[in-house]
Structure 1
Amino acid sequence: LTQCKSANYNPTFFGCDGLDGLLSIKNFDTSLCEGVMFLTPFAADAQDQATQDFVKKYKDAYNGETPNQFAADAYDGVMVLAELMKKEGITADMSASDICDKLKKAISDKDFSYDGLTGTGMKWGEDGAVSKDPKAVIIKNGAYSALTADDIAASTAQ
């Protein structure tokens, strides 16, 4: 983004979830992010109650900072483990190896799915990969926002 600005080159940037968090990079001119679009499993401005509750609690805990998909993924990860630990009857006296074996088997069970902040009906394969649908986001007016058809039309008109 910085190099494009210095070269007076203004492409439309579209990427993946690795671009999430641009607005919180220290000592970075975040105005360069305006119009950047990316796919992510989490949009902080989503209107469902779970997202709104999570965003409020996160902002309260972290000096008003808006959570990105990495925070939401981490939250979902902990909640999935907690659910599986309850379901599998995992206790502190079990060996780490037994706990790991139970969790691996339980998370990849064809009947297990999880509805969280980063997806609904999420399922895990035996390789550990999760299936969930991405959301398209744009950085607009210095904030993350769900990508709309108007945003796409505006970016292609440039």
Structure 2
Amino acid sequence: MKVLVRKTIGIMTVLMLFILAACSGTSTETGTESESGDNTEQASGTLSAKIGVVSYLTGAGAAYGEAITQGLKLAQEEINEQGEVNIELVIEDSAGEADQALSAAQKLMNDDEILAIIGPTLSTEFLAVAPEADLNGIPIIGTSTTVDGIPEIGDYVFRNAIPESLAIPAAMEKAVERTNAKKVALIYGNDDAVTKGGFEVMERTAKEMGLEIVATETFQKGQSDYNAQLTKIKNGNPDLVLASALYNEGAVIMDQARKMGIDVPFVGGNGFNSPQAIEIAGEAANGLIVGTPWFGESDDPKVVEFNEKYEAKFGKLPDQFAAQAYDALYIYADALKRAGEADRDVFRDALAETKDLEGLLGNFSFDEIGDVVMDVTVLEIKDGKFVEFE
């Protein structure tokens, strides 16, 4: 009944808009960045869809959003060239703030031509936006949202990002196996959903592994001095430091830790997995261990080709967030082809049935609640670059 009502309202709305447009003969610009790709003229039989994007494009963590939108644009260009579907991206900036992300998403939701939404970037933002998208029957996918409970929000909510509950334990198990660690210290950002969620996974996994937690310290977004927290961690003499942080703060924490003589390995959450951590921390980033579906140094032909295309287009190598966004648009394109029409409910059902899709990051499926099914790779930073953990 819920789907039938949505479809009836949608048809009536489209008819009213068609009548109004025919009468006025004009259109207005909203100021939204719209990326239609190279194929603006549709070939006969080509499915066309507008996809809304909410991305972290300005502010301290804009490198995340930049990578995501660049990954999307590269995928869009390739998909449109293939000719089966034509995708237009309508991009809005969230600035990493939940309220701005919600306003941006509402703007997209009010456009009846928007088939589905990608983003927002941070879990804090996504948790504000996804319930409303689900309520409005608009499919939404998170490409970088890793906290527990994301797909459980509703039937229209999906993600292709490896959750912290998979990535962090995989990294911790590898780190403990190599170092024979017995004691760990934890440090996390207590004002962000992804860093709080990562901490919860770290703490739970440490207890399950029988590790002694010698210190638990917190910090806030934008903090620059971690002397007090790191002094307590150093006094605990841990074998590993478990740090749930975004790359901005995480890199500074590692730099200050090394200067204080804390030379044990760090295990990070998903937000720590960025080349920006190396750029900011330099040699201090060596020894960081993370779990991820993306290994940019892989000799897999798909990864090599993606790296080459991305670097040629944007002047730098891609990171995990670019790769996940790239795959997400291909997941959407595949679902659109199987749906056979740009209808939100039909598209949602096709999306839910995605199984064993060969993507850039590997074989991809959704489980029964819309969460990702994919293998985890553990990486470490060694000699200033991410390498596969051995």
Match of 1:105 among 339, 349, 352: 349
Percentage of matched positions with identical amino acids: 26
The structure whose RCO (Cα within 8 Å, separation 6+) is larger is: 1
Deviations 1:58-98 (A, max 9, x none): 111222x221111110000001101111111124xxxxxx3
Q: Is the 1:43–1:137 contact (alpha carbons within 8 Å) kept by the matching residues of 2?
A: yes
Provide TM-score, normalisation by structure 1.
0.77
Residue 32 of structure 1 aligns to a residue whose secondary structure is helix
Which residue, 229, 253, 268 being the options, matches 1:15?
268
- What is the CA distance between 1:27 and its match in structure 2? 7.0
1:37 aligned onto 2:289: yes
Would the aligned equivalents of 1:76 and 1:117 in 2 still touch at CA under 8 Å? yes
Which residue does the alignment assign to 1:62?
314
Structure with bigger gyration radius: 2
Taking a change above 3 Å as real, the CA distance of residues 19 and 26 of structure 1, as seen in their structure-2 partners, is: closer
| Alignment of 1:3 onto 2:3 | no
Question: How far apart, CA to CA, are the structure 2 residues paired with 1:27 and 1:68?
Answer: 13
C-alpha deviation, 1:16, in angstroms: 3.4
Counterpart check, 1:140 vs 2:372: no
In the TM superposition, residue 131 of structure 1 has moved relative to its aligned partner by 1.0
Dislocated runs of 4+, deviation >4 Å: none
Equivalences, count = 137
* 1:74 pairs with 2:329: no
> What is the Cα deviation at residue 26 of structure 1?
9.3
Residue by residue over 1:8-40, the C-alpha shift from the partner in whole angstroms, topping out at 9 and shown as x without a partner, is 11111123332211x325972322111211110
How far apart in 1 are the matches of 2:277 and 2:290?
17
Structure 2 unaligned residues grouped into runs of 5+ = 1-253
Question: Quick one: which amino acid aligns to residue 258 of structure 2?
Answer: K
Residues 1:129 and 2:382 are matched in the alignment: no
TM-score (norm 2): 0.33
- Counterpart secondary structure, 1:29: helix
Tell me how far 1:41 sits from its aligned partner.
0.4
Aligned amino acid, residue 123 of structure 1: S
Would you say the 8 A contact 1:69–1:118 is kept in 2? no
SS at match of 1:136: strand
1:25–1:11 CA distance, 2 compared to 1 (3 A): closer
